Copies of this chain bind each other. A is one copy, B any other.
Amino acid sequence: MKLGELAERSGCSTATIKYYLREGLLEPGARRSATDADYDEGHLRRLRMIRVLRDVGDLPIAAIGAVLAAMDDHDRELHDVLATAVHALGPRRNLPPREELEPIRSEVLAWVEAHGWEVSPDAPALDLLAVALRGARQFWGDTGPEIFERYLLIADTIGEGDLRHIDPIEDMADTIRQMTVGTVVWEQALIALRRLADEHHSRKRFRAPRGA
Contacts and interface: CB of A to CB of B under 8 A. Distances in A.
Interface string A168-194: 110000010001010111111111111
Contact of A160 (B11, B56, B201): B201
A97 interface: no
Interface string A188-206: 1111111111111111111
A69 interface: no
Give the number of times this chain occurs in the complex, counting copies: 2
Contact of A82 (B86, B133, B155, B206): B206
Contacts of A42: none
A64 interface: no
Interface string A134-164: 1110110000000010111011111111110
Interface residues of A, number: 83
B129 A197 contact: no
B11 A197 contact: no
A93 interface: yes
A49 B139 contact: yes
Interface string A117-130: 11110011110110
A185 B77 contact: no
Contacts of A125: 191-193, 195-196, 199
B117 A197 contact: yes
- 6 closest residue pairs by CB, A with B: A159-B197, A56-B135, A155-B193, A125-B195, A129-B192, A128-B192
30 contacts: A11-B138, A49-B139, A55-B96, A55-B131, A55-B138, A86-B199, A86-B202, A117-B197, A119-B200, A120-B199, A126-B192, A128-B188, A128-B192, A129-B192, A132-B189, A132-B192, A148-B189, A151-B158, A151-B186, A154-B193, A155-B193, A158-B194, A158-B197, A159-B197, A159-B198, A159-B200, A159-B201, A183-B198, A187-B194, A187-B195
